[in-house]
Amino acid sequence: MKEEIEQILAEIQALKCQTEKEVEEARVRLLGKKGEITRLFDEFRTISPEMKREFGQRLNVLKKEAMAKIDELRSSAVSAPAASETAFDPTMPGDPMPLGSRHPVSIARQEIVNIFRKFGYDVAEGPEIEDDYHVFEALNFPPNHPARDMQDTFFVSTGHVNPLLLRTHTSSVQVRAMETMKLPIRVICPGRVFRNEAISARAHCIFHQVEGLYIDENVTFADLKQAILLFAREMFGPDTQIRMRPSYFPFTEPSAEVDVSCNICHGKGCNICKGTGWLEILGCGMVDPNVLEASGIDSKKYSGFAFGMGIERIAMLKWQVNDLRHYFENDMRFLREFSSCVEG
Ligand code: PHE
């Protein structure tokens, strides 16, 4: 027994383990239920009482040594895998980083901007918190004009001559363009607008518009019609037809609303175009001489056209989205459908 104890002690001193698994195997081999040291303790019970004292001590020392060695090996084995983690293994598959994608409203906006850029339009922006003058007054909506009710306004401050409000349309930017830019002006103004509307599948209190403005000598309604037709064909396909219906806006005269032929049923009639074969896309008209004069432009010499469209509406028609609220709810299942869309 004495030799056996010596032998196991030597074995313990020489013991080397790298992984936690190896340490555990060594522990079971020495101290487990059927381990060598456990077996010696069992044998110890059978030896003569006069030898017990000596061997008892030796066995206790052996057990302590074994336990201490196992603890020591375990603590160094724990840090081992951490060290190997830092080693770079080029054969491991990569850890893919989820890529975000552009919002459909941004994609549609960029597509509209790109089309008009090709036609030579500049891009202008203006403030979202505007004054009454730029949203209404300069656009031929005098105070108490009934057309102000066409757009339910969020006021930021009231009680003075020129209250601040959240712009209800991007036409305010055409006023700023006329005030600051040199003639001729050819500009589009994309931006966010606000109206106090109940939220539904077809209306929201926040949405986006693109305004267009072209002012030069001898600009006619025929130019407007051609610009809109070219835009519609770039946006919805080369076979697209347009039609104009008379309408009213205080800042344009004459005014029109424009429909495009339904790109889903190609004019035959479906539930998207409600059986008519046509879809409304924008409002437009020749800039009213009063509006030109209010911004210091000589209406005898210059004429121009303006148009305004809702970006969400264009996007809904292009991608057949049937509920406006999808654009604002940040549902990833909806947004992911546009991850492969690249604007033209
Ligand atoms: N501003 C109008 C609207 O929001 C659209 C429009 C713009 C109409 C320019 C005519 C000319 O409804």
Tens place of pLDDT per residue across the chain (344 aa) = 778 888 888 888 888 888 888 888 888 988 888 888 888 888 888 888 888 888 888 888 888 988 888 888 888 876 555 555 677 888 888 888 877 889 999 999 999 999 999 999 999 999 999 999 999 999 999 888 887 777 789 999 877 888 899 999 999 999 999 999 999 999 999 999 999 989 988 889 999 999 999 999 999 999 999 999 999 999 999 999 999 999 999 999 999 999 999 877 887 888 778 889 898 999 999 999 999 999 999 999 999 999 999 999 999 888 888 888 999 999 999 998 888 776 55
Structure tokens at 138: 């300069």
CA 283 to centroid of ligand 1, rounded, Å: 5
Choosing from 135, 140, 171 the residue with most ligand 1 atoms within 8 A of its CB, the one to mutate for a pocket test is 171
Helices (H), 159-248: 171-180, 221-236
Structure tokens at 88: 């770079």
Does 310 contact ligand 1 (Cβ within 6 A)?
A: no
CA distance 166 to 170: 11
Query: Quick check: 260 and 277 in contact, CB under 8 A?
Result: no
CA distance 78 to 84: 11
Structure tokens at 27: 């522990």
Does 304 contact ligand 1 (Cβ within 6 A)?
A: no
Does 190 contact ligand 1 (Cβ within 6 A)?
A: no
260 burial level (CB within 10 Å; 0-12, 13-18, 19+):
buried
Against a cut of 0.75, is the pTM above it? no
> In residues, how long is the chain?
344
The number of C-alpha atoms within 13 Å of 329 and in the hemisphere containing its C-beta is 12
Atom of ligand 1 nearest to the CA of 308: 7
Does 249 contact ligand 1 (Cβ within 6 A)?
A: yes
Query: Quick check: 292 and 271 in contact, CB under 8 A?
Result: no
